[in-house]
Amino acid sequence: MRRLDALVQVAVPALLVVITALLGTLVSHANETYFINALVNVTIVVALYMFIGNSGVISFGHISFVALGAWMAGVLTVPQQAKPAIMPGLAHPLEVTTVGNVPSLAIAAAVGGVYALVVGLPLMRLSGLTAGIATFGVLEITHNVLRYWEKIGPGLNAFSSVPETTEMLQATVGALIAVAIAFSYQRTRFGRLVRATRDDSAAARAVGASVYRQRLIAFVISGAVAGFAGGLYVHLLPIGSEDVYLDLTFITLAMLVVGGTGSLFGAVVGALAVSGVDSFLAVAENGVHVPGGTLDVPVGTRYVAVGALMALVLVLRPSGLTGGREVSLPDWIRVPLMRSDKVRS
């Protein structure tokens, strides 16, 4: 029975990802991008959830890991002959190294994890408001450095000439990997310990859990997944330093909060729901046919709508759409199953 519960908890979010992908193959090529983007968003939000949801500490800094992952994966996959033209100031080792798609994603994940470790070692001692401000500082520093330091990337320019390999299949597999890692992590000893520190840090310490160490583990794993998501992102669009800064931080946090910070299911639902609203409005900004006429909203409506949605959810239902709970089987299936379990034993 407990095994079945666990299966449902991971299968439903995974199924949502797969359904999104299948829906995406049905639409026109122009609209397919929105679905791929939604899946990359799922990956980022799941990474956010692994730290924020499990540890209960707010982080405004995770987009730094996405950014650095994107930078490394991007720099290493730009074709050799194109590098001098778009990144003239590149450091020598990065200039002469070019890797394929899959290795670049692995490197992105590794870089994200290592950066999270470096940042987390001092910062995981903080919590609450100070953690929020300090991680925000990390975001500012990362953005500032990536924007101007041309030895490690294109600086003020966008990442052109990166092979656009994040197709529907890769985005789906990426999102599924993130869901699988998040689910496995939260069922390990470490996942349970960090949740214990979230729910009652004094009691968790009393039974021997180190709040600092558990938070650090959560931070590093989620940083690695965030870096991986950055790799997917840079292979989707020619992004620049402004694309992995405040707007992305805001919108991914909004997704997590709208879905419900406390559960993996919430992270996936929130990412897909907000991506859906956002994509619909993005299309509507160019005029869209709806039953009863053409809907044409002014440019910028999407962010206003997402902002309003997030504020509304925070005020009216702070635990999010899913209430921060994982999926469970409905009682009319569960109860008979439990009875038959007892009969057998």
Partner 1 sequence: MLAALSINWQTITDGVALGAIYALMAVGIGLVFGVLRLVNFAYGQLIMAGAFALALASQWNWPVWAGILLCFAVVLVLSLLMERLVFRPLRTQPPAVMLVATFAVAFLLQNIALLWFGALGKIAVSLASLNRPVTISGVDVRKITIVAVAVTVVCLLALVLLLERTSIGLHMRASSMDFSTARLLGVRANRVIAVAVLISGFLAATAAVLLTVQTPLVTSDFALSDTILVLAGVVLGGLNNLVPATLGGFAIGFASGLLGGALPSNQSQYIPTFLFVAVIVVLLLRPSGLFTRSGQAVERL
Q: Which stretch binds partner 1 (CB under 8 A): 12-20, 176-184, 230-238, 248-256?
A: 248-256
CA-closest candidate to residue 191, choices 151, 157, 221, 167: 221
Q: Rank residues 147 and 192 by Cβ distance to partner 1 and give the closer one.
A: 147
CA-closest candidate to residue 159, choices 84, 86, 64: 86
Q: Which stretch binds partner 1 (CB under 8 A): 4-12, 84-92, 126-134, 329-337?
A: 126-134
- Please identify which residue in 134, 225, 239, 281 interacts with partner 1, judged by CB under 8 A: 134
User: Do the Cβ atoms of 67 and 142 come closer than 8 Å?
Assistant: yes
How far, in Å, CA of 104 to CA of 99, rounded? 6
User: Do the Cβ atoms of 234 and 162 come closer than 8 Å?
Assistant: yes
Site for partner 1 in 304-333 (CB under 8 A): 304, 306-308, 310-311, 314-315, 318
Structure tokens that stand for 297 in this block: 């909203």
Q: Rank residues 137 and 163 by Cβ distance to partner 1 and give the closer one.
A: 137
- Please identify which residue in 22, 82, 203, 299 interacts with partner 1, judged by CB under 8 A: 299
Apex 68 CA angle, 155 and 132, nearest 5: 110
CA-closest candidate to residue 15, choices 218, 172, 224, 210: 172
Phi, psi of 258 (to 5 degrees): -65, -45
- Please identify which residue in 145, 158, 173, 180 interacts with partner 1, judged by CB under 8 A: 145
In the complex, the smallest distance separating the C-beta of residue 285 from partner 1, rounded to whole angstroms, is: 11
Beta bridge partners of 175: none
- How many residues lie near partner 1 (CB under 8 A)? 41
Neighbours of 231 (CB within 10 A): 33
Per CB under 8 A, 336 contacts partner 1: no
- Please identify which residue in 292, 293, 298, 330 interacts with partner 1, judged by CB under 8 A: 298
CA-closest candidate to residue 256, choices 67, 18, 34, 43: 43
Q: Rank residues 95 and 140 by Cβ distance to partner 1 and give the closer one.
A: 140
User: Do the Cβ atoms of 121 and 219 come closer than 8 Å?
Assistant: no
- Please identify which residue in 68, 211, 244, 254 interacts with partner 1, judged by CB under 8 A: 254
Q: Rank residues 80 and 130 by Cβ distance to partner 1 and give the closer one.
A: 130
Residue with token string 């292979």: 235
Total count of residues recorded for the chain:
345
Per CB under 8 A, 121 contacts partner 1: no
In the complex, the smallest distance separating the C-beta of residue 104 from partner 1, rounded to whole angstroms, is: 26
DSSP tag of 20:
H
Q: Which stretch binds partner 1 (CB under 8 A): 12-20, 175-183, 205-213, 246-254?
A: 246-254
Q: Rank residues 210 and 301 by Cβ distance to partner 1 and give the closer one.
A: 301
Per CB under 8 A, 68 contacts partner 1: no
Listed in sequence order, the residues at least 6 apart from 60 whose beta carbon sits closer than 8 Å to its beta carbon are 132, 135, 136, 139, 249, 253
How far, in Å, CA of 312 to CA of 317, rounded? 8
Per CB under 8 A, 273 contacts partner 1: no
Crossing angle of helices 29-55 and 246-259, rounded to 10°: 70
Per CB under 8 A, 280 contacts partner 1: no
Q: Which stretch binds partner 1 (CB under 8 A): 7-15, 144-152, 275-283, 287-295?
A: 144-152
Site for partner 1 in 147-206 (CB under 8 A): 147-148
Query: Which parts of this chain interact with partner 1 (CB under 8 A)?
Result: 57-58, 60, 122-123, 125-126, 128-134, 136-138, 140-141, 144-145, 147-148, 250, 253-254, 257, 298-301, 303-304, 306-308, 310-311, 314-315, 318
